[in-house]
């Protein structure tokens, strides 16, 4: 079947122009001005903006924190509604099992036949044995060209020390596997948390006060030095603060292959959200913690100058009820903020509409660079012939408020409740199949497919 989308404003990372896109089957067949072709269906996109489907390189559908687990892939219709057609999930290695083995088993049990958008995976090292590090070289063949380690969360099973990070870097570099790290100083955090609890400071706001910018800046600098030692690329996830950005900038100036992302919440929320009454502040407990407005502005500027190359959601779907397990101790609040469906509209509203970023830069941050970072750019991230027909028709004329009633995240709240939103995804195609129409999700459970990533992503370039 052929579908012709006509008269939309086509936006790429390089330019924008009024034009047409022809979809044949699952692929983009042609892109250009005034295409003269026969089609089974024609969509007039006059007044609309045509974007490539989003790639969210940082999402959690199986994250466990003190026995609580996030909502899973049954909520990925929220991604589609928000213009994201591919998600990359972090999967914690199971003790005694290899990285590939863990992901394969997880994929078959929890994802296949369930996901409503396409997907890929980042294995997370939790069992730092020699066998685990040797398994890194097997990741590209399986289609998982990245691996992650948590420098934070001392005492948790997924915490990694400097030795583990270094071993991963040494093994990964020749295999073309990108090492990603959550950079926070776990020892300093534990020290400050113990002091806070001893003083009776148990409210959510102390999550931010016990994870100040220095713990992220120091760990980022240390991670970069470990990569320097290993002579390997490194990718710093969810960068939040000026100090961490400057560490990345300095490394780049020295010619080191160091890259980083930020997330929607760090561009829009500040730490005062954690002070909301009636334990509402717990909804904004995420790690690294929310920062000050000055850090937010610095992050926007760092996107513009290329110091940070992507914006992810770091979606983590814990319910408000689950958050309440930390009512008397902020350390027990499950970390994470939901934002799967909000990334594109929030970037449009508070980035494009305010002049902080251009439409082309938006495409780069939310789709093209995440695809390139993770070796998916052979199929995703571009509006070009031969690519998967993952296409968003964005209506910039809609104005509304974000509400939990309109959310598909499967939770009892949305962190963006009451935020102004300009525009919405009027239509979304997943490999040529409509999954959003007239701003409503119309897809089916299980429509998503596994997309194999290739080795030697952006960090190696």
pTM: 0.97
The reported pLDDT for the residue numbered 461 is 87
The reported pLDDT for the residue numbered 66 is 85
DSSP-assigned letters across all residues of 387-406 = SB--EEEEEEEEEEE--GGG
Q: How far is CA 171 from CA 134, 223, 328, in A?
A: 7, 16, 43
Q: DSSP character for 193?
A: H
Biggest alpha carbon distance in the chain? 72
- Are 169 and 180 in contact by the 8 Å Cβ rule? The answer is no
Burial 208-230 (b: 16+ CB within 10 A, else e): bbbbbbebbbbbbbbbbbbbeeb
The reported pLDDT for the residue numbered 65 is 87
The reported pLDDT for the residue numbered 77 is 98
The reported pLDDT for the residue numbered 219 is 98
Q: Which residue ranges does the chain devote to CATH 3.20.20.140?
A: 53-381
- Per-residue model confidence as pLDDT tens for the chain (461 residues): 999 999 999 999 999 999 999 999 999 999 999 999 999 999 999 999 999 999 999 999 999 888 899 999 999 999 999 999 999 999 999 999 999 999 999 999 999 999 999 999 999 999 999 999 999 999 999 999 999 999 999 998 999 999 999 999 999 999 999 999 999 999 999 999 999 999 999 999 999 999 999 999 999 999 999 999 999 999 999 999 999 999 999 999 999 999 999 999 999 999 999 999 999 999 999 999 999 999 999 999 999 999 999 999 999 999 999 999 999 999 999 999 999 999 999 999 999 999 999 999 999 999 999 999 999 999 999 999 999 999 999 999 999 999 999 999 999 999 999 999 999 999 999 999 999 999 999 999 999 999 999 999 999 98
End-to-end CA distance of the chain: 38
What's the token pair of residue 421? 């939103």
Q: Estimate to the nearest angstrom the gap between the alpha carbon of 207 and the chain centroid.
A: 22
Q: Identify the CATH assignment for 2-51+382-396+420-441 out of 1.10.287.3510, 1.10.10.60, 2.30.40.10, 3.30.70.3420.
A: 2.30.40.10
The reported pLDDT for the residue numbered 67 is 87
Q: DSSP character for 435?
A: E
Q: DSSP character for 385?
A: T
CA gap 207, 213 in Å, rounded = 12
The reported pLDDT for the residue numbered 285 is 98
Kind plus residue range of the DSSP H or E element containing 363: helix 359-363
The reported pLDDT for the residue numbered 234 is 98
Q: Which residue ranges does the chain devote to CATH 2.30.40.10?
A: 2-51+382-396+420-441
CA gap 213, 287 in Å, rounded = 11
Q: How far is CA 110 from CA 89, 96, 198, 242, 292, in A?
A: 11, 20, 40, 38, 37
We find that the CATH architecture of domain 53-381 is: Alpha-Beta Barrel (3.20)
Which residues are CB-contacts of 82 (< 8 A; sequence separation ≥ 6)?
A: 54, 340, 341, 342, 343, 344, 345, 425
CA gap 404, 418 in Å, rounded = 9
């Amino acid at each position: 079947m052929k579908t012709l989308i006509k008269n939309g404003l086509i936006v790429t990372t390089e330019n924008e122009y009024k034009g047409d896109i022809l979809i044949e089957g699952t692929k983009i067949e042609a892109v250009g001005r005034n295409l003269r072709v026969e089609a089974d269906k024609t969509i007039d996109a006059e007044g609309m903006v045509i974007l490539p489907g989003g790639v969210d390189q940082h999402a959690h559908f199986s994250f466990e924190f003190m026995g609580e687990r996030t909502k899973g892939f049954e909520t990925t219709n929220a991604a589609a509604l928000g213009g994201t057609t591919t998600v990359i999930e972090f999967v914690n290695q199971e003790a005694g099992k290899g990285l590939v083995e863990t992901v394969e088993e997880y994929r078959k049990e929890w994802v296949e036949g369930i996901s409503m958008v396409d997907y890929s995976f980042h294995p997370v090292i939790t069992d730092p044995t020699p066998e685990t590090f040797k398994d890194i070289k097997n990741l590209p063949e399986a289609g998982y060209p990245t691996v992650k380690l948590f420098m934070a969360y001392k005492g948790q099973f997924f915490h990694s020390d400097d030795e583990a990070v270094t071993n991963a870097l040494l093994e990964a570099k020749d295999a073309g596997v990108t090492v990603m790290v959550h950079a926070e100083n776990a020892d300093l955090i534990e020290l400050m948390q113990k002091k806070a609890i001893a003083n009776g400071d148990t409210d959510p706001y102390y999550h931010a006060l016990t994870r100040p910018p220095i713990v992220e800046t120091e760990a980022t600098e240390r991670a970069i030095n470990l990569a320097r030692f290993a002579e390997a690329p490194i990718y710093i996830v969810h960068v939040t603060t000026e100090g961490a950005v400057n560490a990345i900038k300095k490394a780049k100036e020295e010619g080191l292959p160091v890259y980083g992302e930020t997330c929607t919440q760090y561009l829009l929320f500040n730490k005062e959200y954690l002070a909301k009454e009636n334990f509402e502040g717990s909804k904004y407990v995420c790690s690294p913690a929310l920062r000050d407005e000055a850090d937010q502005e610095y992050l926007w500027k760092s996107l513009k100058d290329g110091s940070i190359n992507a914006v992810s959601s770091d979606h983590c779907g814990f319910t408000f009820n689950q958050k309440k397990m930390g009512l008397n101790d902020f350390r027990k609040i499950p970390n994470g903020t939901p934002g799967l469906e909000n990334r594109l509209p929030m970037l449009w509203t508070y980035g494009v509409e305010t002049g902080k970023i251009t439409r082309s830069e938006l495409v780069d941050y939310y789709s093209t660079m995440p695809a390139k970072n993770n070796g998916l750019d052979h199929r995703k991230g571009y509006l070009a012939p031969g690519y998967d027909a993952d296409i968003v028709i964005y209506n910039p004329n809609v104005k509304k408020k974000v509400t939990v009633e309109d959310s598909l995240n499967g939770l009892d709240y949305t962190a963006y409740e009451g935020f102004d939103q300009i525009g919405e995804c009027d239509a979304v195609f997943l490999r040529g199949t409509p999954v959003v129409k007239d701003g409503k999700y119309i897809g089916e459970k299980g429509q998503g497919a596994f997309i194999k990533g290739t080795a030697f992503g952006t960090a190696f370039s």
